[in-house]
C-alpha cells in the first residue's frame, strides 16, 4: 500500500485503501462525454475502456483522537475486491481498538463495508471503541431503501448496514446506536 499522508497544522490525514476495482467512465460520469473525462483519467484509462476505482478511507489524527472516514467495501461481498482496510491500517500501526470515531460520509456499500464484522452468527462493530457518526439527513434518506435488489449500490441492509450490528454496544465509549451527529 502506498501511504499518502498530509499534515495540515496539527491534523494528520492518511489515505488508506480497502482495495480497488476497474470500472467504466460512462457509469461514473453519466452524461459526460469522453473528450471531457479522458484527459483527466490520463494513463489510467486502459484500452478496454476501464480505469481504477479505489475504495478509499481516510485516517485523521487530531487532538488525541483517531478518526476513520468511511470503512470501504469490506469483506462482505462474495468475490468482492475490497477487504484490505484492516491490514492496511495495521501497516501504519493502527488496530480496530485504536479508532475513536468512524465517520460515514454516506451509506453506499463501498463506504460502510467494515462498519461491522461477522462474529458468532451475527455482526459486531469492527471498531469496538468507536462512536459511529452519520448525518441525520443521510440516515433518514437511507431508510427509504428497503429492497436490496433495487438498492444494492446504495447499501445492503442485511450484510453491511452499519448500524445493524447491535441494538447497543458495550465497552469503551461506544454509545447506543444509531448515532446521529452533524457532520
Express each pLDDT in 155-174 by its tens digit.
444 333 444 443 333 333 33
What's the rounded mean pLDDT across residues 76-91? 83
- Regarding predicted confidence, which is higher, 81 or 5? 5
Distances (CA, A) of 93 to 55, 87, 98, 173: 20, 10, 9, 21
Question: pLDDT at residue 90 above 90?
Answer: yes
Tell me whether residue 2 is exposed, middle or buried, using C-beta atoms within 10 angstroms of its C-beta: 0 to 12, 13 to 18, 19 or more.
exposed
Q: Which candidate, 26, 101, 30, 29, places its Cα nearest to that of 71?
A: 101
Superfamily name and number for 4-19+56-151: Ribonuclease Z/Hydroxyacylglutathione hydrolase-like (3.60.15.10)
Look at the pTM and tell me if it is higher than 0.85: no
What's the rounded mean pLDDT across residues 140-166? 48
Domain edges within the chain: 4-19+56-151
Amino acid at each position: 500500500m502506498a501511504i499518502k499522508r498530509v499534515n495540515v497544522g496539527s491534523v494528520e490525514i492518511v489515505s488508506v485503501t480497502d482495495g480497488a476495482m476497474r470500472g467504466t467512465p460512462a457509469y461514473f460520469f453519466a452524461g459526460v462525454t469522453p473528450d471531457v473525462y479522458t484527459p483527466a483519467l490520463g494513463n489510467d484509462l486502459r484500452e478496454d475502456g476501464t480505469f481504477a476505482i479505489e475504495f478509499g478511507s481516510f485516517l485523521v489524527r487530531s487532538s488525541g483522537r483517531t478518526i476513520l472516514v468511511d470503512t470501504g467495501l469490506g469483506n462482505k461481498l462474495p468475490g468482492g475486491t475490497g477487504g484490505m482496510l484492516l491490514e492496511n491500517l495495521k501497516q501504519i500501526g493502527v488496530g480496530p481498538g485504536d479508532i475513536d470515531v468512524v465517520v460515514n460520509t454516506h451509506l453506499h456499500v463501498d463506504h460502510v463495508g467494515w462498519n461491522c464484522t461477522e462474529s458468532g452468527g451475527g455482526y459486531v462493530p469492527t471498531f469496538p471503541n468507536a462512536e459511529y457518526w452519520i448525518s441525520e439527513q443521510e440516515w433518514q434518506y437511507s431508510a427509504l431503501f428497503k429492497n436490496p435488489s433495487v438498492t444494492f449500490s446504495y447499501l445492503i441492509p442485511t450484510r453491511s448496514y452499519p448500524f445493524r450490528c447491535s441494538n447497543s454496544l458495550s465497552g469503551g465509549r461506544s454509545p447506543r446506536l444509531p448515532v446521529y451527529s452533524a457532520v
